[in-house]
Structure 1
Amino acid sequence: MTALPLGRATPAPLAAPPAAEPVALLQLSGDTADAASAVYREVRRGRRVVAVVAGGDRAVRRLAETLDAIGAPTVTPAAGEALLHDGVTLAPGPDVASSRPVEDRVAPLRVALAGCGVVGGGLLPRLLADHRFEVVGVLVRDPGKARDTALPRHLRVTDPAALLAREPDVLVEVLSDASTGLALTRAALSRGIDVVSANKQAIGGDLAALTALAVSGGARLLYSASVGGGAPLIETVRRARRHGEIVRIEAVLNGTCNFILNRLADGMAFDTAVAAAQAAGFAEADPSADLDGLDAAAKLAILAHEAADWRLPVDAVARAALSGAAGLPSGRARQVARLDLETRRAGVTFEAVDGDPLFADLADEGNALRVTTADGRLFTVRGRGAGRVPTAESVWADLGDLRDVAC
């Protein structure tokens, strides 16, 4: 079987019953990160994946570990077993002779990166190493701050206007500051600069207006990573909407609360659980936006736009706060965000979910979503909703989509 060049993996539909989800067949070789990205982009399109991985069992194990870090679990069937499973199936293929990469005759996308923290720091090395992209500047608050990612001096920018003055083709906005992120996104879109955003607080306030601004400016706005990190929650809502009218959404959208609730269920004290979430990188130094439901409310506003063009103000979402004094339901509790599209009610509450197989056993950073359509069909998805690797991979997939259009 001939391996296709990585980054150019071509999906081929397999025969399946009409009710089955579409299936992508990938033949992969080369770099593990590129192979994982090719698989992830098919997963977020709602496809089951069968990937034949050149290099044998060792290459399969490396790819499985990388996909697990992103939040895409895999199955590796034994010899003689069926290849088609739910999710991602990996099968070892033979080694292939290395070949010269196909020359890319399209000019690289000029990328301005706003933020070099958890997500931006995960993206920058990949952008610098990939000839398809040219980093023109990186916006940071403190250029002298020690970082776990090397930031070349000539790329450091502290003024948002100066970043856009470097004339990027696309702005990647991964700031933690909502007001700066929103202003920068508006400025970029009004100039016709494409934007890829992971900043839910920046875009969740009025996504309809930002979408209209993008259209008027001839730009594109992509924001998959703003909800669910690496879990394709937005894509699942879009898929459900294509099927029919959406009447209800239920979701676990905040990894910080999920982490803390898991620790509380194990008997840990509240303050200790919050400190543990901060130490694990799932909670900010000030976790108030997570604990008071504001983070989940912003994500719910984005899902309302995707589900029914509902312009849901974040401050209109009823929210329950998580604190040491808050009474939680007995059993396994989750912070559950709900949208009722028929009554136009939205809320974030704490609920017992022991009998719910989608929510009950979520991992610490896990997110999950259930969408119900008017004809009773359910669309569900789970995945890693927080952390550098899954969130950066989601942003990378959006950049890949922009790159495909440019080519």
Structure 2
Amino acid sequence: MPNASHDPVRSGAGRPLVYFIVGEPSGDQIGGHLIHALKRQTGDGVDFGGIGGPAMAEAGLDSLFSIDLFSVMGLDYLPRLRTILARMKQLERDVARRRPDCVITIDAQALSGHMGRRLARRGETLVQYVAPTVWAWRPGRAKVVAGRLTHLLSIFPFEAPWFEPHGLPVTFVGHPAAEPDPPDPANVARFRHRHAGEGASPVLCLLPGSRRKEVRRLLPVYRATIQRLKSAGLAPICLMPTVASIRDLASALTADWPAPLVALPADATRYLAFAAADAALAASGTVTVELAFAGTPAVVTYKLPRLEGRLARFLVNSPYASAVNFAAGEEIMPECLLEQCRPDTIADALAPLLRDPALRHAQAARIRAVAQTLSVPGRKPSAIAAETILRIIRERAQR
């Protein structure tokens, strides 16, 4: 490990400082697991700095400021741009002051890209955890990203060929959905009985996203979808895990819900909800891969304002929004996107899954098979990521 005696910020000589830049809940979960893995592999011999959310705080990070500011999408950045830029300047100053051995940016591509450009100019050792989805849109970004990073920690096995030709070392660590152990079936049965009883009604997991604008767009559509299902004699019991930052909004938007609804925290409990549900209605994103690992059949949704939707169609070069479908090379999880994200199309895709156990089991088997390709057998993603980061720190220190 590098000699840190030159740095008065550190708590002890020889302890490496790993600096995190994380801007959204999914990255916070990844960061929390990574901090724990780094501690395990060094006997708690690493110091941490930067920004993260509650999972990283629980693991031991004292965040420089709250990351809620960055949990916005697309053009929603504009009203907050001045504050966001000021916070980025603050981060840059803090990195310069603390001189970390390695800076880890996790997902949140707009934040990671902006900070990556700034820090690369300073010569920082920069590792990105979760690659930008160049396989889905703007593939030319791969060369730009490769030019500023020291290393890329990839969560999909098909990503390395996009970056390695540009000279960027890539380590496939596995998808974060492979991190938690599957819940015990007895616990799943108790969870379902507690929240849904023993009736014949199907159980549906609602996953409208983790960003407020996303939730505002999708929950009204989900409400109308549930109403259509109810009118067709198929009213499900709804389970809705939500992150803390959108819980108040989700509660307001689900008042007088047309079917029984149980709101849950989006912590480890959500894996019980996935396993207990007959099917899920989910915003496109990381959660669709989590559902694949759980073997929970799902319909994938994504909605944007008309102008942003047209722009997305112009930029996107993948036929699928869900990484599960992309990895499979076919639409296993039905997708209702943009102008097709309507109550009628969603209900038409969801009703057969709720009605037909054979159809559910068929989709579950296929998505589980895809999930197996998205992990390293017998290894946790955080353990592989931590090993890679510590190796990079050692190698850089020996130069």
Same fold (TM over 0.5): no
| Structure number with higher strand proportion | 1
Give the alignment's TM-score, normalised by structure 2: 0.39
